[in-house]
A and B are shown apart, each in its own frame.
Chain A
Amino acid sequence: MAPSLNDDSPPSTIDEAFTENNLQPFFVLQKGSSRKSDRKSSGTGRTRRIDLSSASPKNSANIEDEKEDENMNLRMEAFEFVWSKIESTIKDVLRDINTNVFSEIQTWVHQSFDTIRSLGTPEFPEATQSFPIISDANSKRLFTGLVLTKNMEFVDDLLTFEELGKHLKYQGYRVANLSSLDFTAKNGVGGCLRSLLRQFLMSSLDPADMSILASWYREENCNNPVVVIIDDIERCCGSVLSDFILMLSEWVIKIPVILIMGVATTLDAPRNILPSNALRCLCPFEFTLGTPAERMDAVVEAVLVKPCSGFIIGHKVAVFMRNYFVSQDGTLTSFIRALKIACTQHFYTEPLSVILLEFASEEDNLVLEIERHGLLPEVLWKHVFELPSCQRVRLNKPTSESLAHAFSEWKRLQNQWRAVVLCLYATGKGEKVRLLDLFCEAIDPKSYNQGEFDTNMKAEKDPVLSSSRIKGHVICKAVRLVRDLSTVQLGNLLKIWENLTVGIPEINGKVKELLSLLNVEDGKSSKKDLIVTPRRHTSRIQLNIEKDSKSLSDRAANLIECMVRDYMHPIECIPFHEIFCFKDVDKLRLALIGDPRRRIQVDLLEFQKLLCCRCCTSSSNALLPSMHDASIMYKLAQEHGDLINLHDWYQSFKSIVLCPNSKRKPRRSPLPKKRKGIKEAESQSEASIQARFCGAVTELQITGLLRMPSKRRPDFAQRVAFGL
């Protein structure tokens, strides 16, 4: 039982309760009150808003507060809406990527099942017992699908295997998902069997036994295979896994189990972890999933490039997320998490982000009903027209019409941007151009405002004037690729472009024009091919054709260059983008990657900056006795090697604590010299200094910056961190 579940009576004083609770392993701080219903009603602010406006007049501060609250709730709602949209989009994309593999696996499962069944089905009593033992090697073979994930990071594949399980379940198969945690040496083979029973029988019987499973299968009267999915065999305990395989193979005639195992490295993996007798039971087949980079591009395309939720990240944020993915974490999961953090931050800080709720759901003609968003109109207008991007364009009259107009303009520009980016991506796809890199360059506001234009509205209004130089390595590469295309490839590409630019007549027209030119050329060349010509002419004709196609691909390259220049407005150059776009990269970094190792040390070394006390702010680096004990000690420790002599450390600590007025630099001189200010020394008893020393050491020990003396070296503590 919980130790303190029973004392419902509130403790007399909070302090008392706390000290008593401090020594409990856990305690109930408070139980949820029924006030929840209160909040709930304000949570669905939209319906309540009407009563609010008609309510008796209150003082303005109150109303403002209430509005603020309401706005916050609405933002929460908007966040939930937007994020669920993003999340489901991601899920769909990932599922689509795997569809082919999934159906391949499904067919294989079916075939394997037929093979097993062709060996005959045992009679009832036999089917639920482990005897007689099957000796025929053929009927002990366990069909095993090895799914190569091509990804060392198994986090990204958790969802894949979950989806695979769902997919197979949908076909009527019995499916159990096991993770490497089920195959630990501690629980042994009983652990995974229990997990199987839990998933199949929905109950946890303690004496886990295969015969239970067998009779369940019999009772279910199943004519379907039983699929067991293990998400990452490399993290499983080898001996447990081999026991499990041996056990299943004994029963495979009675329970037609088909194994599917995730492999992160190579096909050798099973050979490395399983003994030969277990390997002999396996009858492996190989399947391959898409690479993480492919998945990443698909997700970026669906969530960040194509219209999904209206929420967008700024250039710096995108670059940070890209770098974090490429050189630090490498998982799609963390990329998505970063996106979610960015999204939360955005909805929390930007009052107008509420608009996204409608922006995402309504197609066109967004009519802004300011009142609806729980903001006072004055506050809102002030906020809108104080957005830096808005100040640049200087709308003449702050009305909701002008705002609505700005939003439709925003949508238009976004569509153009998207079309260009997708065209570029279509061009570079075969040549290892990653959409993530392309995206990062395409939203760089500098690439747009470069050259003789500075970041003023002029550049935004007449984008045609900007220089022909295109910034960005990946974009350049894509453009260069167009020049090298053959006629056929160019034709294909142009067709893709045509499809991508539907809805943007300016670009679409030009693409069509090129395409028709190409068709004419095509016709010409094929006609020429038909005519039998003397030998010496052929080469010239060939040359001509090449020249023609050269000029055509040049024109195509010019077209895409021009598209990049004129139609790829980075989001951060469009007015009002602050409403949709999250740009605060530092906040994101702090929330995503805590860096305790560095920051805790900085806390200790530069604590004055945080505490802002008057006593310790001195320009010099001198250690003052008024400083935090742990800070003094840690600064002193910096002067030691990897081992700190406790005696010396104590003496330096003591000398600093005892001489408040000397602004000397800390020295390692351990000798406690007799000083003149000895009276002060006496006032502080030896015991209290020792106690402070001990306390500071304990605190450093808790932070893990110090290792306590070992038996071998009782007089030395060990430093753990060297440098920040």
Chain B
Amino acid sequence: MDFNAAEEEEFGFSRNYFLAKEMGSSGKKSARKLSDINVVDEQELREASANIEPKHQNDVADLINSYKSLYPKWVFDLRCGFGLLMYGFGSKKSLIEDFASTALAEHSVVVINGYLQSINIKQVIIALAEILWEQLKLNRKVSSGSLPKVQQPFSSRSMDDLLSFLDGPQMDEKDNFICVVVNNIDGPGLRDTETQQYLARLASCSYIRVVASIDHVNAPLLWDKKMVHAQFNWYWYHVPTFAPYKVEGLFLPLILAHGSSKQSAKTALIVLQSLTPNAQSVFRILAEYQLSHPDDEGMAIDNLYSISRERFLVSSQVTLNAHLTEFKDHELVKTKRHSDGQDCLYIPLTKEGLEKLLSEIS
């Protein structure tokens, strides 16, 4: 029966896995290198990827339009207290934002872009509290009641306070909710446990309804049963759109474009800016050396030490080593064995990148 089918399925999984494993290790594994492909310049690649002609544009548009007939159902579900969870291949960003702006026109809508690298969930919740406050004030004016005064601005309140404000008792109107649209609730900016816990608590608030999308096949692993059943209260919808993941993929590296240029000048800059001025200056010495000696394999450590000491940047080998460890940890600097046997340092960046970097930190 059902149970057997489930067992069979599970068995199928493991069988497939081992078959695949076997295929990989049975010597048939190709040893070709990625570098055998004549990869075009990164610049060109990025340009070309910006100009990719999307396929099936009309069909995709038709498909997305066909979901419009579901909008009333979605509103119904939201009003019943569920959270909507959209999944399926293709970017669902425009779909759910369109839904929010057309079908939920009378509600406030806040969009969180989970595909971005870092999101401060507290700021989101503060913003939500402010919106709700305004809304309540507005309603109260009409119904001539008075709200208790805010003792403290929302931005200085604790998370618990904010959440309990959003979870306040629904007084006059039942359908008074703020819709929180979360694009990629499984995205890199929201993936950590703490944020997910906050999102779950947010979702269970009486004034909040969540419409979220996931793209990762393992996204449900982010949640435990309490979050799924008692807080998010998901109502699943399979809505593949096949729309290109434009924004969602913006921050992912192109697979053919990594290599030496992987460590881009931009990330190096961010790291450098967080270091002390002295450390920055040490890095500058190294960079300038590398620019003025393009054919050298790198700068000898002794050499770097004597110059840094002359400029009063370091007082001892120990301090220099501390700086160097920091650089190496962030892959700003690498060591290489010089042909004469001495260790030397170099920065894994192109000449242009290095110049740009130097101009930025000065």
Contact = CB atoms under 8 A, between A and B. Distances in A.
B32 A691 contact: no
Contacts of B112: 25-26
Main secondary structure of the interface of A (DSSP, over half): helix
B277 interface: no
Interface string A687-699: 1101111110111
Given A688-B48, A691-B49, A704-B218, A30 B109 contact: yes
B344 to A, nearest CB: 22
A80 B26 CA distance: 61
Interface in A604-632: 604, 607, 610-613, 615, 626-630
B36 interface: yes
Contacts of A23: 113, 116, 247
B105 A699 contact: no
A599 B219 CA distance: 13
A715 B219 CA distance: 27
B150 interface: no
Contact of A698 (B111, B235, B237, B252): B252
Interface string A14-46: 000010011111111111111111111001000
Given A2-B126, A26-B110, A32-B108, A323 B2 contact: yes
Contacts of A642: 17, 20-21, 23-24
Contacts of A344: 76-77, 80, 82, 235
B318 interface: no
B108 A723 contact: no
A687 to B, nearest CB: 4
Contacts of A155: 225-226, 229-230
Contacts of A708: 255
Interface stretch (A126-134, A408-416, A447-455, A585-593): A585-593
Interface stretch (A277-285, A328-336, A351-359, A420-428): A328-336
Interface in A626-649: 626-630, 640-643, 645-648
B247 A31 contact: no
The CB with the most chain B CB atoms within 10 A, among A79, A643, A670, A685, is that of A643
Interface stretch (B54-62, B266-274, B290-298, B322-330): B54-62
A159 to B, nearest CB: 9
Interface in B119-134: 119-120, 123-124, 126-127, 130-131, 134
Contacts of B30: 645, 647-648, 670
B254 A698 contact: yes
A505 interface: no
B25 interface: yes
Contacts of A651: 37
Contacts of A333: 225, 229-230
Nearest to B107: A32
B80 A723 contact: no
Given A611-B63, A692-B52, A25 B119 contact: yes
Contacts of A26: 110-113, 119, 123-124, 127
Interface in B34-83: 34, 36-40, 44-49, 51-52, 55-56, 59-60, 62-63, 72-73, 76-77, 79-80, 82
A641 B23 contact: yes
B165 to A, nearest CB: 13
A360 B46 CA distance: 64
B63 A2 contact: no
A593 B236 CA distance: 7
Contacts of B124: 2, 25-26
A72 interface: yes
A594 B23 contact: no
B97 interface: yes
A391 interface: no
Nearest to B240: A603
Contacts of B225: 153, 155, 329, 331, 333-334
B155 A1 contact: yes
A81 interface: no
A601 B240 CA distance: 11
A597 B113 contact: no
A705 interface: yes
A723 B63 contact: no
A548 to B, nearest CB: 43
A155 B227 CA distance: 9
B24 A628 contact: no
Contacts of B342: none
Given A40-B173, A331-B229, A694-B256, A2 B127 contact: yes
A43 B123 contact: no
B245 A709 contact: no
Contacts of B263: none
A38 B142 CA distance: 14
B245 A688 contact: no
A333 B242 CA distance: 34
Contact of A694 (B33, B160, B254): B254
Contacts of B6: 327
B229 A334 contact: yes
A401 interface: no
B333 interface: no
B178 interface: yes
A181 interface: yes
A63 interface: no
A348 B235 contact: no
Interface in B80-102: 80, 82, 85, 87-90, 93-94, 97, 100-101
A719 interface: yes
B29 A30 contact: no
B34 A714 contact: yes
A204 B130 contact: no
Contacts of A630: 89
Interface string A201-243: 0001000000000000000000000000000000000000000
Contact of B48 (A36, A603, A628, A691): A691
A18 B113 CA distance: 11
B233 interface: yes
Nearest to B124: A26
A242 B254 CA distance: 49
A458 interface: no
A27 B164 CA distance: 22
B220 interface: yes
Nearest to A640: B23
B360 interface: no
Contact of A32 (B178, B220, B236): B178
B167 interface: no
A608 B234 CA distance: 28
A18 B97 contact: yes
Interface stretch (B209-217, B281-289, B305-313, B345-353): B209-217
Contacts of B59: 611-613
Contacts of B169: none
A79 B218 CA distance: 33
Given A204-B160, A333-B225, A695-B49, A31 B131 contact: yes
Given A33-B106, A690-B45, 15 more contacts: A22-B113, A25-B112, A76-B76, A158-B226, A323-B3, A594-B238, A611-B242, A642-B21, A647-B34, A647-B37, A698-B249, A698-B255, A699-B244, A703-B216, A715-B34
3 cross-chain pairs, A with B, having the tightest CB-CB distances, nearest first: A641-B24, A594-B236, A641-B23
26 contacts: A2-B123, A21-B111, A28-B127, A30-B101, A31-B131, A36-B176, A43-B175, A334-B225, A344-B80, A596-B214, A597-B217, A604-B89, A611-B242, A641-B26, A648-B30, A691-B48, A692-B52, A693-B255, A695-B249, A699-B244, A702-B245, A704-B216, A704-B219, A709-B34, A714-B34, A723-B16
